[in-house]
Structure formats: structure tokens, C-alpha cells
Chains A and B, each alone.
Chain A
Amino acid sequence: MKGMSIIVKKVAQLISGLIFLYGIYIITHGHLTPGGGFAGGAIIAGAYILNILAFGSDAMNLKNKEQGSSLSESLAIFIVLMLAVFALFIGSKIFFANYLPKGQLGEIISAGAIPLYNIFIGIEVAAAIITIFLALVIFKEEVKK
């Protein structure tokens, strides 16, 4: 897959950073506003996919990227599970208990462990969507050859 014209490349470069920031905003405010890990993760994946579409798959070494995204996906979901298991060892010793202090309602740092879950679920979803996209691109390239 070849890249698109220079106009598209420049606009994609400019826009993708903003999209990425917006995704981070959605994830970190997951416990306060609508959205959260899943929605924000999908937006972050969108930022990457936009760049891949604009610059074409030749420009990047996609196979290595696919391995990296698949690894970070497994790591993120494993950390989510471990955050839940960690609750078995402290406090009330109950799976998925919210062990951190709850804080003030409406503050960015509040709601105990829920923002942490949101962040890692965001990484997991972004990595998973990128992995699926790269798998489809790589499959198409291989069919062409």
C-alpha cells in the first residue's frame, strides 16, 4: 500500500496528535464523564490508524509493529487482572475490591482504583484494535505477493 499525497500526510500528522490527546482525555476522565477505557482506547487506535493510512504500509515495518502491539495488548490485560487480584492480598481480601482511598467526588484523582483500570483497559483496547488492523493489512499484502 502506497502513501497518499503530501497534503494528506501533513494534515494527518497535525490531526493525529490532537486525536491522541483527546483519547487520553476520555480515558483519564472515565470515572467522571461518559466514556472510559474502551471508548478512549478506540480513539487512540484511530490516531495510529490514520497515520498508517496516510503514509502507507510500505513506509513502516508492519510485522515488527504487529508483534509489539500484540505484546503490549497481552501485558495491559494481564496488568488489569493483576490489579484485581492485588485486592485479594490487602484490605477486605475480596477479588475486584476497590482498595485505594475514594477521594473527593468530581476530582480527577478519586474513585479509588477505577482510573487505574481505565488506563490499562485503554492501552489494551488501543493495542487490540491496532493489532486487528495490522493483521488485516499484513494479510492483504501477503495475498498480493
Chain B
Amino acid sequence: MNSLIPLFVIVPLATSFLIMILGKFINGFQKTITPLVLLFLTVLSFYCLLNNHSNSYTYAIGGWEPIDNIPIAIYFVMDGFSLILLCIISLIGFLASVYSISYIAKFTSENNFYSLLCLMITGMSGVVLSGDLFNLFVFLEISVISSYALVAFGTEKEELEASFKYQVLGGIASFIILFAIGLIYWRTKTLNIADISALFHSHETSTFDLFIQILLISGFGLKAAMMPFHAWLPDAHSSAPSPISAMLSGVLIKAVGIYVIIRLFFTMFIVSEEISLLITTLGTISMVIGVLLAIGQWDIKRLLAYHSISQMGYVVLSIGIGLVLLARGVKPTVATLAIAGGLFHMVNHAVFKGLLFLNAGAIEHRINTRNLKEMGGLSKHMPVTSGTSFIASMAISGIPPFNGFFSKLIIIIAAVQAKFYLVAFLAVFVSVITLASFLKFQRYAFYNKSEHRSTSKIKEVPFPMLFSMIVMGILCLAFSLLAFPGIREQILGPAIDVLTNPNQYVQTIIGI
């Protein structure tokens, strides 16, 4: 298993360069190789997830052995938590690339598109695998820089403006993150996460450490579009081509934002109660304000982008509750439940938000508008799009038996048991508003009579797009199974173990 780890980075990276070399000479090379490679990665990541026995695999690049128990190599670390992320990255990446076969055909320079998509996947896989702060930063830059280019892919005025805004804010975030990494290096003289963790756990937490933690929360909060830092997200996610919006909203903000916050604050720092309350508050604020901003939107993709902020708020607040309880050292079972709810909602959000963006792309592909007021009556002409988008809307609003219901239920139960009554109430309230907002989407897009255009010529979208949407629709139902005890322990259990015992992570690297 250990020797499989670097494949997650090598394979998409090599594909992206191969596309640039061979794509010019062989017709259709780019659109066959990308889905195949991503399918291979999906199979590989699910194989690793299901055969995850020791729950912690490390790989020292270059074969450098630790000297006096000080790790000097660059480490890749694969454990339950990063495996879940790897599975979503490659799965959503695969479905988005299949969808792109028809969707991107109307653009020129397809080679650049697929090459950048592969680079983005390389970067995200690298972020979740890296056991080293500086390489985490490098992989993060690989993925966000390719996403800047992908957001501007349409090269219209609006898209370039969105990409520019994203670049400026992303640049500020990267600067803050690099500054924080520099401060950590100054303080600990090492960049290996496990090594830093061991040093932090053997010293008192000083004000300096708190400063670093605040910097990291702001930097990765900007990447994850948590509430005070969200300004770039609605523009960037709505302007990108739809499969890329699905990747950005479904995977990128999790892999480079939420994942890193969780990994660093659970594993690396000794978290004080104040910082964990701060994280919970940020999550709650983004959950409430995100949905309030979403309800007035008439552009479908903008509406979905604001809902991404709100749903990420659920994940962050749930993880935050787990962190508060762990910092207080009380009620470990409730902390486990809260973390499970957060991770579960993260997986679910990737699937249903990805599906919703693909639906929005299908509508845009056929009628060339994103304005809800100009749509209507599409359910007769596009039955599959309508059906899958109904599933996804119900999943995001938390209607049983779809997956969103179970994860929201776990989050609310955990909040009540942890005596965060206000947060639990707000979570229910936001869920109701989400339902209202998606009923509006359903009614205006699919069921209303259209007054603006004749709908008779509209056809269903081609097969590759349908394939991705149907698979994601099935997954929306299938992921509900993760709520049941036997399956939950198999898939989410290892990830929760990793987060609740940080010592295990440290020991596998330092104690080799």
C-alpha cells in the first residue's frame, strides 16, 4: 500500500504534460485520456479506502531515512482522513471530466482545459497527502493557480474580472499562509507537521503561537471562503465553466481550505478553547449569512455559490464543536459525533453541490442563460436534468431519504448534546431557508410556464453529460448508507480516529 501513495501525484501530473505534448498531434487524445486516468485514480483511491488496515501509511520521497528520529525527507502521509478527501477528489474529478467531453467541445483550446484540470487534481491530491508544511503550500499554489486560469477560461469580460478578483484575494491568502509558515519555521526550525506537532506539544502555548493560529485561520479561511473572507467565491464559482464550478465548489474549497484547517488544528496545534470557539463562530456566521445572501439571487450559479458558503458553514461549525469539546476535555463521544457529522456533510456536499452545478451547466448549455426569470417549463424537455436536480435540491435542503438529511441530523444532534442550543436552532432555521431557496430554483427553472421563449426546440443534453448527472444522483441516495452504523465505522471511523488521537499521526512519522 505504501508504494501506491506517490501515484496519486505522479499520474495526473504526467497526464497533464502528456496532453500538452501529444494533444496537438493526436486528435481527441485529451478527452479520452483524462477520464481514463481519473477513473484509474478513483478505483485506486477506493481500493485504498476499503483496504485501510493500519490507518496510517507514510512514504519518504527520495528514500531519506530519519536521522536521530528527526525526519529529513519530504513525507507523504495517507490516513483515513486524507483517503476520504482523495476519494472525493478523484470521483468528482472523473465525473466532471466525463461531463466536459460534451460541454467543453464548444470552446477552443481543449488541450489547455484538460491539462489544467489534471494539474488542479495533482495539486489537491498533493495537499491532502503532504506531511510537510512547505510542500503543502507548493501543492496548494499548483491547484489554485490552475483554478485561476480555469475560471478565466471563457475569456469574456465577466470571467476575466472574476478571475482577477480571485487572483488578488487568493494572492493575499497565499501571502498570509506563507508568512505563517515562515513564523512556524522560525519558532520550531522544522517544517514536518509531525515534528512541529511534537515540539508544540512539549512546550507551553505562547501568544506567538496564537498569532500563528490566527494567521492560518485567516489564510485558509480565505481559501475556504468562510464568511468574512467570502467575497471572491460567488464571482469565481459562477463564472467558471460548469464542470470547473463543480470541481471548485465540490472539491477545491474543501481540499485546500477546510482539510488543511482541520489537519493543522487537530494534529499540529494544541488548540485552546478560545480558538475553537472562534472557528465555531466563523462557521455559524457563514452558515447563516451565506443562505440569507443566496435567497435573493436570480442567477442560478450565483445562488449555488452562496449556498456553498452556507453549507461549508455547517461543516466548519460541526468540526468546531468537536474541537471545543476536545479542548475542554469533556464528552468525547459527543465530540466524535460532531466530527463525524462534519466529515459526513463534507462528503455529501461534494456530491450534491457538484450535481447541482452540472445541472446548471446543462441548462446553460441548452438555453444559454443563467437567469432564473428567463427559464421555465424545462421539466418536459429535459427530464433527466430535471429529475437529478430535484434529487440534489432535496439532498441539500435535508429531506429524507437523501444524504443531506442524515448529515444535518447528526450535526444538529451533536450540537444539542454539546449544549450549543443556539447553533442547533440556527442550523434548523438555515435548513428551512435552504429548502425555500431550492423550491424557488425548481419552480422557476423546471415547472413554471416560460413567458420569454418558445421551449419546443429544447432537447435533452448529450450522453456524457447525462452519465455524470445520473451517477451523481445515484450517489446522493447511496451516500445515505454512510449514516448506518456498520458502514459508518468502516468509512468514517478511521478518519475520526486520526483526528481524535493526534499522537498516532506523530508516532508513525517520528517513531519509524
Physical interaction between A and B: yes
A interface residue numbers (CB < 8 A to B): 70-71, 74-75, 77-78, 81-82, 84-85, 88, 92-98
Count of chain B residues with a beta carbon within 8 Å of a chain A beta carbon: 15
B interface residue numbers (CB < 8 A to A): 3, 6, 10, 13-14, 17-18, 20-21, 24, 59-63
**Closest A residue to B13 using CB positions:** A81
Contacts of B18 in A (CB 8 A): 78
Please determine whether A77 and B61 come into contact, CB atoms closer than 8 angstroms: no
Please determine whether B59 and A95 come into contact, CB atoms closer than 8 angstroms: yes
Please determine whether B62 and A97 come into contact, CB atoms closer than 8 angstroms: yes
Task: List 22 A-B pairs, Cβ < 8 Å.
Answer: A70-B20, A71-B21, A71-B24, A74-B20, A74-B21, A75-B21, A77-B17, A78-B17, A78-B18, A78-B21, A81-B13, A81-B17, A85-B14, A92-B63, A93-B3, A94-B60, A95-B59, A95-B61, A96-B61, A97-B62, A97-B63, A98-B62
Bound Cα distance from A63 to B3, whole angstroms = 43
Chain A at the B interface: SS class: helix
Per CB-CB distance, the 6 closest pairs between chain A and chain B, nearest first, are A74-B20, A94-B63, A78-B17, A95-B6, A96-B62, A97-B63
Bound Cα distance from A84 to B17, whole angstroms = 14
Bound Cα distance from A24 to B106, whole angstroms = 44
Bound Cα distance from A92 to B73, whole angstroms = 15
In the assembled complex, the CB of A80 is this many whole angstroms from the nearest CB of chain B, namely: 9
In the assembled complex, the CB of B9 is this many whole angstroms from the nearest CB of chain A, namely: 9
Please determine whether B21 and A94 come into contact, CB atoms closer than 8 angstroms: no
Bound Cα distance from A96 to B18, whole angstroms = 19
Contacts of B60 in A (CB 8 A): 94
**Closest A residue to B17 using CB positions:** A78
**Closest B residue to A82 using CB positions:** B14
Given known A71-B24, A74-B21, contact A81–B14 (CB-CB < 8 A): yes
Please determine whether B10 and A95 come into contact, CB atoms closer than 8 angstroms: yes
Bound Cα distance from A77 to B60, whole angstroms = 22
Contact for B14 among A71, A78, A92, CB less than 8 A: A78
Please determine whether A85 and B10 come into contact, CB atoms closer than 8 angstroms: yes
Please determine whether A94 and B17 come into contact, CB atoms closer than 8 angstroms: no
**Closest B residue to A92 using CB positions:** B63
**Closest A residue to B111 using CB positions:** A74
In the assembled complex, the CB of B201 is this many whole angstroms from the nearest CB of chain A, namely: 30
Bound Cα distance from A92 to B62, whole angstroms = 9
Please determine whether B17 and A74 come into contact, CB atoms closer than 8 angstroms: yes
Contact for B62 among A77, A93, A94, CB less than 8 A: A94
Contacts of A92 in B (CB 8 A): 63
Contacts of A82 in B (CB 8 A): 14
Contacts of A96 in B (CB 8 A): 61-62
Please determine whether B14 and A94 come into contact, CB atoms closer than 8 angstroms: no
Bound Cα distance from A107 to B21, whole angstroms = 35
Bound Cα distance from A97 to B59, whole angstroms = 12
**Closest B residue to A84 using CB positions:** B10
Bound Cα distance from A77 to B122, whole angstroms = 15
Contacts of B63 in A (CB 8 A): 92, 94, 97
Counting chain B CB atoms within 10 Å of each CB, the highest count among A71, A77, A82, A95 belongs to A95
In the assembled complex, the CB of A132 is this many whole angstroms from the nearest CB of chain B, namely: 13
**Closest B residue to A94 using CB positions:** B63
In the assembled complex, the CB of A102 is this many whole angstroms from the nearest CB of chain B, namely: 14
Bound Cα distance from A13 to B332, whole angstroms = 74
Please determine whether B10 and A94 come into contact, CB atoms closer than 8 angstroms: no
In the assembled complex, the CB of A67 is this many whole angstroms from the nearest CB of chain B, namely: 8
Contact for A94 among B13, B24, B61, CB less than 8 A: B61
**Closest A residue to B23 using CB positions:** A74
Contacts of B62 in A (CB 8 A): 94-98
In the assembled complex, the CB of B243 is this many whole angstroms from the nearest CB of chain A, namely: 23
